[in-house]
A and B are shown apart, each in its own frame.
Chain A
Amino acid sequence: MMKGEAGYEQSQDCQVTVKLKKRGNLNIVLHSKMEKMFGDQIIQKAKEELDLLGVKHADVTIDDYSALDFVIQARIRTAVRRARDGEKDV
């Protein structure tokens, strides 16, 4: 299982951790002060991005610090690539 991380613990940013798995569900865990207001929207946008990247089996954690959707998607993209690059190195 390979792991990739991206983003910073800073206002309007988010930290994303992606653990790629061979099988199993796509689990997304979100921690955000905005969860009640935007939780569903953030999870939806995260799923869209992961789908675009062809990620089907992974544990994804998003620690959100009031980031906009484009930031969350960009951090997911970077974290997934880093996880995959890690996989290649092994």
Chain B
Amino acid sequence: MYKMRTMLFCPANKPKMYLNAPVFKPDCILFDLEDAVAMSEKDAGRDLLCKAVETLEFGDCMVFARVNGTGTPFFEEDVRSIVPSGIRYMRLAMCDCPDDVVVLDQLLTEVEKANDIEVGTVKIQCSIETAKGVLNARETVKASDRVISLSFGAEDYTNSMGTVRTREGNELSYARTYLPVVAAEAGITAVDTVWSNYKDEEGFAEEVKWAKTLGFTGKSCIHPSQIKIAHTLLSPSAEEIEHAQRVVDAEREATAAGIGVFTVDNKMVDYPIINKARRILIQAGRLEK
């Protein structure tokens, strides 16, 4: 599972953010060639992205490009131009069905071969953002081994549902409940949609908490100020880590003493609890996978 707590959106045709995005230390930077770039500027956005990736350092950040959907006239050129420049992660917009992923997968294989890149190097995040996409998600994410993650896009989704986004987000409940289950089954990372009103940090925090509860482990961010909030909320808390450590320590002692059943804080510990504790410690970087 990839650590993708935050994906910072940056319009691909705006020079300013290229230099500074890594400063905010998001887990992923997402340079957007789709909605953030006007139809007439797609070529310029690609050129800028390519030159930036060839020239600049992005530190520990995973650098994603959001490419235009397979049904658009920009899709193919997006992929053909940005892979040779060094982009290794792609978010495919409007992933409606397995075929979309297959088309990208095949094109990537072709481009990888043509550029002496090992086949399978470039990874895919499926952006699920329509009713059809949600219902097909389970098959879509399994359409290629390249898929490492899915992301939810609420703006287009509500549009496809004939509804609108609200601060509470009840209109998203079905998709939001379903998609983390899809991701868990496939063993991939689930990244939640953006919170557009970046000035409303309280609302953002509430939404991240809710997304975490539902099983998302990442959040798309449209402003640097959201990164720290999301990282704090999506990382195990000090209490969680401390408890997990005690569970794992107690298990080691119990095993050494040949005791089968043991308790921590007066609660019986069984395998699901031990596994959860291990997962938290791995997340916190306290335990090797």
A residues adjacent to B (C-beta < 8 A): 6-7, 10-13, 67-71, 73-75, 77-78, 81-82
Contact A75 to B44, CB < 8 A, known contacts A69-B55, A70-B52, A70-B55: yes
Residues of A with C-beta under 8 A to B19: 68
Is residue B214 within 8 Å, beta carbon to beta carbon, of the partner chain? no
Tell me if B16 and A74 are in contact (CB < 8 A): no
Q: A69 to B14, alpha carbons, bound, how many Å?
A: 14
Which chain B residues numbered 218 to 245 have a C-beta less than 8 Å away from chain A?
A: none
Asked if B50 lies at the interface with its beta carbon under 8 angstroms from chain A, I say yes
Inter-subunit contact A6/B44 (CB<8 Å):
yes
Using A71-B51, A74-B52 as known contacts, say yes or no to A12 and B44 having CB atoms under 8 A apart.
no
Residue B76 lies at the interface, judged by CB distance under 8 Å to chain A = no
Check if B51 sits within 8 Å of A12, measured CB to CB.
no
Given A12-B15, A74-B48, A81 and B55 contact (CB-CB distance below 8 Å): no
The closest CB in chain A to the CB of B16 belongs to A12
Q: Which of B233-268 contact A (CB under 8 A)?
A: none
List, sorted by A's number, 14 A–B pairs whose CB atoms are closer than 8 Å. Answer: A12-B15, A12-B16, A67-B15, A68-B15, A68-B19, A69-B55, A70-B18, A70-B55, A74-B47, A74-B48, A75-B48, A77-B51, A78-B44, A81-B43
The smallest beta-carbon distance between B271 and chain A, in angstroms, is 52
